[in-house]
């Protein structure tokens, strides 16, 4: 197995920072090496420099996206950070009186966050119209999100009643898996979006934006640009969620903290 040199690690470190704003700490050296080794072996290359050149070459578009997927994919699960979902249900959805509730899961990964939210929207909004946009940089996780099929060990925090109402358990060859029901999936769009770039010119505005477990990978300048770009798509009075391990202190003056990790647009 090839060993990734410090200079090779810097190649990938600079690339993913420039492309996705992710600041890979030196401690991620082993992780990056381990994740990319399979691709190195697949192409029968001698070192990581050769792999980088392949992925960045004009003929390497497919491998380029594969490299992005490998370097940006993070683990998630249903109803992660439960207090956020309690706040969404009790403080936002129950008193909501609009016509169409729009929510953006801005770093949706493989879809567990968007589907968790969808269950709450379906439970609390009755016949009112609602929709969710789920975006991510990785095409691999978006493909999984669109399918809505997961293994059973992702549901420790998923209420049994919601599971029975909105999920279909797999049988025979699909035993040990479940699929999110079509009545939820039809209200969710998943699309690729790079948060480092300007939003589409006709981007809709949202009542709530979730941007969780992403900012921890950004430096302060990148955080500021990304947050202010997303806040522009948030309705006045709309809510903005980040992870409990993150903060928006000194990042933007357009949001006011309601409680740690939950903000409202001024």
Q: Locate 50 and state its tokens.
A: 């050769």
Place of tokens 């050149």: 53
Catalytic residue (one of 23, 35, 39, 179) = 35
- pTM > 0.85: yes
Judge whether 136 and 112 are in contact, CB under 8 Å.
Answer: no
Per-residue pLDDT tens digits of the chain, which is 266 residues long? 678 999 999 999 999 999 998 888 899 999 999 999 999 999 999 999 999 999 999 999 999 999 998 888 777 899 999 999 999 999 999 999 999 999 999 999 999 999 999 999 999 998 999 999 999 999 999 999 999 999 887 678 899 999 999 999 888 878 889 999 999 999 999 999 999 999 998 899 999 999 999 998 899 999 999 999 999 999 999 999 999 989 999 999 999 999 999 999 99
Same domain, 34 and 162: no
* Domain total of the chain: 2
100-105 vs 206-210, strand pairing mode: parallel
Query: What CA dihedral angle connects 120, 230, 239 and 251, to 10 degrees?
Result: 130
Q: Vertex 169, ends 140 and 102: CA angle to 5°?
A: 55
Same domain, 102 and 46: no
For residue 243, what is the domain's CATH number? 3.40.50.150
Catalytic residue (one of 136, 154, 185, 207) = 136
Identify the domain boundary among 19, 45, 72.
Answer: 72
**Partners of 136 in the β-ladder:** 192
Q: What is the pLDDT of residues 19-33, one digit of tens each?
A: 998 888 899 999 999
Active site residue 35: yes
Domain interval for residue 184: 82-265
Indicate whether 235 belongs to any domain.
yes
Widest Cα–Cα separation across the chain: 61
């Amino acid at each position: 197995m090839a060993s990734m040199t410090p200079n090779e690690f810097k190649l990938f470190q600079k690339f993913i920072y420039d492309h996705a704003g992710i600041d890979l700490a030196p401690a991620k050296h082993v992780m990056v090496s381990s994740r990319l080794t399979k691709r190195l072996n697949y192409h029968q290359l001698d070192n990581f420099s050769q792999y980088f050149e392949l992925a960045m070459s004009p003929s390497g578009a497919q491998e380029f996206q594969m490299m992005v997927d490998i370097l940006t994919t993070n683990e998630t699960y249903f109803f992660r950070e439960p207090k956020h979902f309690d706040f969404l249900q009790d403080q936002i959805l129950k008193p909501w009186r609009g016509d169409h509730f729009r929510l953006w899961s801005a770093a949706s990964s493989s879809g567990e966050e968007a589907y968790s939210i969808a269950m709450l929207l379906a439970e609390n909004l009755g016949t009112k119209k609602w929709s969710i946009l789920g975006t991510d940089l990785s095409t691999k996780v978006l493909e999984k999100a669109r399918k809505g099929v997961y293994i059973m060990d992702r549901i420790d925090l998923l209420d049994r009643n919601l599971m029975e109402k909105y999920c279909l358990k797999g049988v025979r060859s699909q035993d040990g898996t479940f699929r999110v029901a079509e009545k939820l999936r039809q209200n969710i769009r998943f699309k690729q979006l790079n948060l480092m770039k300007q939003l589409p010119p006709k981007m809709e505005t949202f009542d709530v934006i979730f941007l969780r477990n992403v900012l921890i990978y950004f430096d302060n300048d990148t955080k500021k640009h990304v947050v202010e770009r997303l806040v522009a798509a948030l309705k006045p009075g709309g809510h903005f969620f980040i992870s409990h391990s993150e903060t928006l202190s000194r990042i933007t003056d357009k949001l006011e903290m309601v409680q740690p990790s939950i903000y409202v647009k001024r």
